[in-house]
Structure 1
Amino acid sequence: MLLPLGLVKIAGALGLLAGIAYRPLGIAAATGVVLYFLGAVMTHVRGGDKKGSATPAVIMLLAVAPLVLGVATV
């Protein structure tokens, strides 16, 4: 499962970069990245690994910034 998850993460990063030039793509990519890391946090918590959920939670909060800024400037 690591390869597909890694590819999704790379696609999100490329989408965020492309979103600099085309804002709707950036908003969509930021939404996907936030949902990806929300799923990671939920998976850690459901698996009983609350300590391990801190890293994806911080990354998810950082990913909210481009989403909010993208939506606010449309």
Structure 2
Amino acid sequence: MLSVSRRALASQGKLADARTILQTLLDGAPDDSAAWTDLGRIRLTAGDVGDASVAAARGGAGTARALRTDAAGRGDP
């Protein structure tokens, strides 16, 4: 349920709300790599590259790859 809610909020541009849900989820499940990936994407979308990198590192190598792919698709360096 939370994954649907956070993704729906993010797709509607409600990044702060999605970030709050993710932080709550990660407080209880700090090893949830999918949540870290979503948080990294939200942070990257918000222009917070530094914190997106932190989330990528916490999520593992797959998260870092996903964020680079997202950034490349938007034309970011």
TM-score, normalised via structure 2 length: 0.45
Which has a greater percent of helix?
A: 1
* Higher relative contact order structure (alpha carbons within 8 Å, sequence separation ≥ 6): 1
Who wins on radius of gyration, i.e. which is larger?
A: 1
